[in-house]
Structure 1
Amino acid sequence: MKLPLLFSTLLVTGLAKCPDVKSLDVFDATKYTGQWYEIARYPLIGELGETCVQTNYTLKEDGTIRLQNLGKKPDGSIDSIMGTATVKDPAHPASLSVVFDEGFRGSYNVIRTDYTQSALVYACDSLLGFTLEYGWILSRTAELDQTVVDAYKQVLADAGSDTTQFSMTPQDCGSLF
């Protein structure tokens, strides 16, 4: 998780344009805060081999969201990264820009959430003519019903994203927070 988000993906879909995946029109950051478990993700070098990836979001007084990501490395140690998410444009409150404390930047777009059970997050960047996709399926608990996972994958597939790249994230460690 300590590599630049922009360069940390293994998923390079070629010279295609980013799929047109819309973030939520209405987003309540207060309801979104708290702990989330990563259920599935597109490949990321920064999380290669990690299990039990979890995130905690805290809303700050200035309206930014402080985040901490934790994950268990293959050697058993805990990887941690912290950052701050800011709304890019008030007209699109679920499209966030994240700056990690190490200086790395990335996008974080909430595509779907019910705030209490699950969320779908997606971002896509073009770099040197290549398309880099990032996707996460999150849950408030360590498990998520497969029908929800499938529905979220379908949202991205319908937009043209290659959801076969999703891999499930084992959550057999309990809470890391």
Structure 2
Amino acid sequence: MIEEIKQDAEERMRKTVASTRDSMARIRTGRASTALLDHLSVDYYGTDVPISQVATVAVADARTLTVQPWEKHMLSVIEKAILESDLGLNPATAGEVMRIPLPAMTEERRVELGRVVRQEGENGKIAIRNIRRDAIHTVRELLKEKEISQDEEKAVESSLQTLTDQYVGQITEVVEDKQKEVMEV
């Protein structure tokens, strides 16, 4: 019973760290990244699908993405989706390939994105602490029902705290790495 609680908490914490990493990947930095377009979808025969399912998205160089749709008529649809997004990108179509130059970020924009990165990290840490709280609550319920001893409860709380510290540390590392990336000129 206790092991199941700890395993469940650890699994949920691992997923939280992965989710935080994913949300960080979507935050634009000075470098080109295919993750920048991951959340954009286009209309493909009446169905909304991610751009990556109708085209090849690649990094041409540090400041340029290329998008090559598998069907030529999708070029204008993809271009429209990129222009309507809040990314501030201006794609240029050349034949069957779309080039998307990433404009250099201003210092003000970098600072703003740094705040967004910190906030995303804080949200991840809060989620991990909530997972710990839920697990400890479950353990205390077991103690009330006399299914475990106080010593076992303290041991589980201690190991949950260790897990929490470990995963909060991972999120801190992700945030620090992303902030360095954002502040790079």
Between structure 1 and structure 2, the one with the greater Rg is: 2
Choose between structure 1 and 2: higher helix proportion.
2
Give me the TM-score of the superposition, normalised by structure 1.
Answer: 0.23
Choose between structure 1 and 2: higher strand proportion.
1
Give me the TM-score of the superposition, normalised by structure 2.
Answer: 0.22
Q: Which has the higher contact order (CA 8 A, sep 6+)?
A: 1
